[in-house]
Every structure is written in structure tokens, then in C-alpha cells.
Structure 1
Amino acid sequence: MKKKYGTKKRMVEQTSYVDTTIEPELAKRRAELLDYSASHSNSSSSLEVLELEAVGEDDTSYQEHLNFILRELAKKQPNLAEIKIRMRRTLFKRIEAMTLPTKKVMEIFPFLGIPQLMQHEMQMKFGIDMDRSLQTAIHELAPRIIRVVKEGSQKRFSPSLLEPTNERLEDAALLLLPELFKEKTEFLYSVEDEVHPCPTVVFHGSLNVLKADTISIRLDGLTLTTGKMTIAEALEYLFSTYFLFNVSYPAPLVNTLTFIQIFLFQLCPNKKKIPIPVLKMYNHFMSFD
């Protein structure tokens, strides 16, 4: 039986698929986002595939590149620059492999568990510098998000996020987004080992997420990556997981994730297709001086 949340999307040629387990309007929104994701992927990764085939990459050379990456990662100081070159030359195989179960994908390509290399994968496939996009956008939006939170009823917000220090202002703003959209925070992040079927940020070491010792990203019951990272880095990895593993946005978090996609990471479909709640929230933030 197919899971309701966190299900893998169909591939590019099948983006007309509509999930009947959710209400029609939400299904329409998701289909529009899938269409954008597919067309954006097609415009960059298909060119990459053609280029790779043109220079003669085949199953043998692919395996040689993969073996090199795995050997290099076993070293104390791996050559990340060379690994990124080999990742580019094997991208065509990973595009094909993303239809496999998550566990199998991570067994074949364990380097996707390294946040820096996950970001490189996103940049190759979608032409996006996730860190630069997020840092630029959240620097402007964070004070506005906190202001909106403080001017309204604060009962539904997590107390630990309401009075952040200046150093944690942007972190708090990112984590407050689901509650501003009146969506379920547990589909974005949880504490310790709570399990959800969709990609989730998991904080370890403290019930106060801003004081967590380590952070993990989980999908399909697997820990894809874990360690010391910033909340921004965790969000970048989480969003990469949605796009690279072809995972549909869960219904209880669709507006939050759509906002992040469009206004934080600058992956923007036709503005006419931006869901009204998402556009209204952005305009509300930007109405403040």
C-alpha cells in the first residue's frame, strides 16, 4: 500500500500523475510543482547526460569512477575536487538510479550522505547554489518573520523559538515557518528518534532544538547524514533530498516547503502558479520596512 506522505514522484515523462489521497486543490498544487521540478531537471540534467554519452562514458568507466570515489572517501583527507569531477561524469547513472529504494541508492552512492557533495549534486542537476541562495534570502526575511510572529498570537509557537539571540535569529525564523502557515512542524523537524515517512530533520541532545548537539536527516527510516551542522545546512540537505530522491511534498507541510523552494532557494516556477497562501505570506513579510 502506497504511503500517503513522502511518496516518491514519478519521473519526468509521468508528471501528470495526481495523488488521489489528497484533496483536489492540493493535488493540483503538487502537480504544478512536480511539473516545474521535472522541466527544470530536464533542462539541465538531460544536457549533462547527452554530454556524458558524447564523450564515451559507459558502464565500465562509470564503475571505475565510482570505485575511485569510494576509495578516496576512505582516506582521512579525500580529494573533494576530484570526487566532484567523478560525480559529474557519473551523474547520468544516478539520475537513472533515483527510482530505486532509498536504501539501495545510498548503498550505491554513499557520498550522497556528505552534505557538501549533496549540495554539489544539486548544483550540477539544477544549477543552484543552495547555500548562497538561502543565506541571501533568509538574511532579509528572518527579521520580518520574527516580527510577524511577535505581532500575532504566540500560543501555537514553540517557546524556545520565540526569543532567539541575534546569532540564532535566522535559525529560529526557518523553524517557525510551518507554524506561521499553520502546518505541522513534525513533518519538517523532530527531536531525537521520532519517525516520519517524509524527509525530516532530527535534532539530538536537547529538547530545545536551538541547543542540539548534532543533527540528522532521515528518510524512509534511514539516517542519510548525521553530525554537527547548522540549521541552514540541515535545511539545504533536507531540500536536496526532496528533489534528488523525487519525494513528493507531504500534504501537512506543502505550503512551507513551497515557500522554501520559491523564496529561499529561488527555484521559481511561473509566478501565476504560486499557491495563494504562499504568495500572501511572502507579501506580508515584505510589507514591513
Structure 2
Amino acid sequence: MSSYTWYPTSEQYNRVCSALVTKYQFLRDRTEKGYESWHEILKNKFKKERSPLVDIEEINKVRSRFGKAKNQMISQSTQQTCITKNTEDLSVVQDMHQKRQRSEESESGEDAHSIGIHVEKMRTECMKRTPNIRLLQDCMARTRNERTDYMKHHSTKETLSRYPALKIPAILVLEFESILDANIEKNILNNLALVAQKVIDECHRREVGVDICAELAEAKKTHIDLAHKGLSMAAAVLLLPLLFKESPRSLYLINEEPRTPNPVLYIKGRALVEESLLEILMEGEKVCEVDDLTMALTVLMAIHFIFNIEYAAKMKNTLKFVEKFLMCHNAETKIPPTVIKMANFLFD
């Protein structure tokens, strides 16, 4: 799109997103149109990419049109030049200042009054049908220290009530990535794509996860070839615990509501069917709904880190593998030999 314009219209966004989910059905979200989340993501992506650019004529024209000269006494031609240059410089400086300010204020620059304002702003925004993700991300950054302390002394239900943005998968992932300063979602998708087929083949060889493998084969018959990779990755998420001889029930349950306090995925329906309901629950409380199994895995890892939850004993090796070899998180913790051995096999 950027080769045609850096400022697409709403109609252009809609056309591109509609074409995307039409060609790749597994990317459809649960909104009415099936692509509203992609519309927001693409729109934010353009904003982010435009911000640092200073040598694109189209962008400079828009900036100069809405910019303000610092000195109203200079000539019109010089004034226009100053507007363009100052707007560009100011954009970069403001971006750097805001990032530094968010970091500093999230650590020590907020008091009870300002925290209350951010919390109320978050609640108001979350009541909208399409919340402003960037605004919520800012509120999350500014309340991070207070929220971390609040979680230590309150239940999941109370925390989700006070900080409703934690019910939005995109916010959970962004907060997670901000904590670790890494593109975790991208790492998981890329690395899972590398090992998915090998996970499936090994489970087939061991004759474990027979039902999931059968469902995968059936699902592939009703999907176009382009969707098969996504289906294989989703199946790999379900099969991964079986390779470590751990109980999948500590990661997900199908048509059986979880009774564990740990974060777990509840699947209502058939696991690899698009119409299935996928919910993340913790301490009996629904945290959020997710669109697919790969996102579910990312959100589950995010919740463990954001809420500072230890891995369940019956799922420790699986989640350690995800953390170290799918997320690529270089934590200073000992990696079990079983996990290293499995990683060497899958990535060989």
C-alpha cells in the first residue's frame, strides 16, 4: 500500500483487509466484518512507519499543511520551510521524549491521583466497541508499577475489574513485549512454523495425539492449501505437551471447563475448527477470548509473565521450551536437559 500512498483512506484499508481474509480464511477475526482488528493493526502500522520519515514528499506536504511555524514574523516562503522542518524535527523529538517520559513516569513519576485518572481513562476506553489500543498501551505503561503491586494483594477478578485493558489480547501481548523488550509474537510464529510439521510427524510416530492428528487431516481437506500451514501450527500447539510427556490439561481443555487456578485455554467445540470458542481462563475467571491457537499460546505466556505466575509442574518443560526456543527469551534460568534435547531434535 505504501507504494501507492502513505495516507490510505478508510475504504482502501477495508479493501486490503477484506482481500486478506478472503484469501486466507484462517486470518478472519471474530468481528462482524471478519477483519476489523486487521484494519486497526494496519492503520497503526502506517502511523508508526510514517513517524520517522523525513524525505517523503507526500508526508512532508501533510505535515506542513497541519504544522505551525514558530516565528510568525518571517516571510511566507521561509515560514513554510520552517514549518516543514520544525514539524519533522518536533515529531522525532516528541517521540523520543514520550518514550522516555513513559518509562520514567511508569517507574516513579505517578501519584495516586494521576494513577486514578489513567485507570478511569482505561475503563472508559474499554467500554468502546473499538478501543484505542495506543491510548490503552500508554495507560498500561503509566500504571505498571502500581498494577504490579496491586496484583500481589488482589484476585484475578479484582485486577481485571480495575484494569480492564488486561482483557484485550492485543494489550496483553504489547505489555508482554514491552516487559521483555522483544517481538515475542513474531518470534513464536516464526519458530513454531519451523517445527510444526516435525512435532506432528513425531506425535504420529509415537502414536500420541491421535484425535488431534485425525482432526488436522480432516480440516486440511476443507481448507485451501495456503491455510494448511496455519492449521499445522495450531495442531502443533496442542501436540507439543505430548512430546514432553506432560498433561495437556495444564495448558488447554476441550469441552471441559478448567478447575485449575493457573492460566489455561478453554476450547469449546472442535479444536481446529474456526467456529470454536477459545477462551483464556485463570482462577475461574475469563480473561479474554482469542482468535486462534497460536495467539492463545502467546497470550498464555504473556499472562504468566505479567501476573508473575510460576509454570504448572505438569507443564513446566513445555512452557520452558516455548520460553527459551520459541520466544527466544534468554532468561538466566537453568534449562532442563529434556527441553534442550527436544529443541535440538525439532530444530535439527
Q: What TM-score, normalized by structure 2, do the two folds share?
A: 0.63
> 1:50 Cα shift?
7.3
The answer for the alignment partner of 1:91 in structure 2 is 144
Contact map agreement 2:122 2:164 (CA 8 A) in 1? no
Which protein, 1 or 2, shows the higher relative CO under an 8 Å CA cutoff with sep ≥ 6? 1
Among residues 119, 123, 148, which one is paired with 2:202 in the alignment?
Answer: 148
The answer for the alignment partner of 2:347 in structure 1 is 286
C-alpha RMSD of matched pairs (Å): 2.2
**Cα 1:140–1:250 shift into 2, 3 Å:** same
Using the TM superposition, name which of 84-93 and 61-70 deviates more: 84-93
The answer for the alignment partner of 2:118 in structure 1 is 65
Q: Distance in 2 between matches of 1:243 and 1:274?
A: 17
Among residues 284, 287, 304, which one is paired with 1:224 in the alignment?
Answer: 287
Contact map agreement 2:173 2:302 (CA 8 A) in 1? yes
The answer for the alignment partner of 1:77 in structure 2 is 130
> 1:255 Cα shift?
0.6
The answer for the alignment partner of 1:245 in structure 2 is 307
Contact map agreement 1:118 1:237 (CA 8 A) in 2? yes
In structure 2, stretches of 5+ residues that fail to align are 1-99, 221-227
> 1:233 Cα shift?
0.9
> 1:104 Cα shift?
1.5
Contact map agreement 2:198 2:346 (CA 8 A) in 1? yes
One-letter amino acid matched to 2:176? M
Q: Distance in 1 between matches of 2:213 and 2:112?
A: 50
> 1:200 Cα shift?
0.8
> 1:94 Cα shift?
1.2
One-letter amino acid matched to 1:160? I
The answer for the alignment partner of 1:268 in structure 2 is 330
**Cα 1:213–1:170 shift into 2, 3 Å:** same
Contact map agreement 2:200 2:213 (CA 8 A) in 1? no
Does the alignment pair 1:203 with 2:267? Answer: yes
Identity, in percent, stands at 26
Secondary structure, in 3 states, of the residue corresponding to 2:114? helix
Q: Distance in 2 between matches of 1:274 and 1:48?
A: 36
Contact map agreement 1:259 1:278 (CA 8 A) in 2? yes
Q: Distance in 1 between matches of 2:330 and 2:124?
A: 38
Q: Distance in 2 between matches of 1:121 and 1:148?
A: 34
> 1:160 Cα shift?
2.5
The answer for the alignment partner of 1:22 in structure 2 is none
Contact map agreement 2:173 2:299 (CA 8 A) in 1? yes
> 1:49 Cα shift?
9.1
Q: What TM-score, normalized by structure 1, do the two folds share?
A: 0.75
Q: Distance in 2 between matches of 1:48 and 1:136?
A: 33
Q: Distance in 2 between matches of 1:260 and 1:107?
A: 29
Aligned counterparts, 1:1-289, within 5 A: 51-52=104-105, 56-99=109-152, 100-150=154-204, 152-154=205-207, 156-162=208-214, 163-164=216-217, 165=220, 166=228, 167-197=230-260, 198-204=262-268, 206=269, 208-211=270-273, 213-226=276-289, 229-270=291-332, 273-287=334-348
Counting helix residues as a fraction of each chain, which structure ranks higher? 2
Secondary structure, in 3 states, of the residue corresponding to 1:98? helix
Q: Distance in 2 between matches of 1:63 and 1:75?
A: 19
Secondary structure, in 3 states, of the residue corresponding to 1:182? coil
Larger radius of gyration: 2
1:161-217 CA-to-partner distances (Å, cap 9, x unmatched) read 35443240111111111111111011111023422312110111x2x3112521001
Aligned length: 235
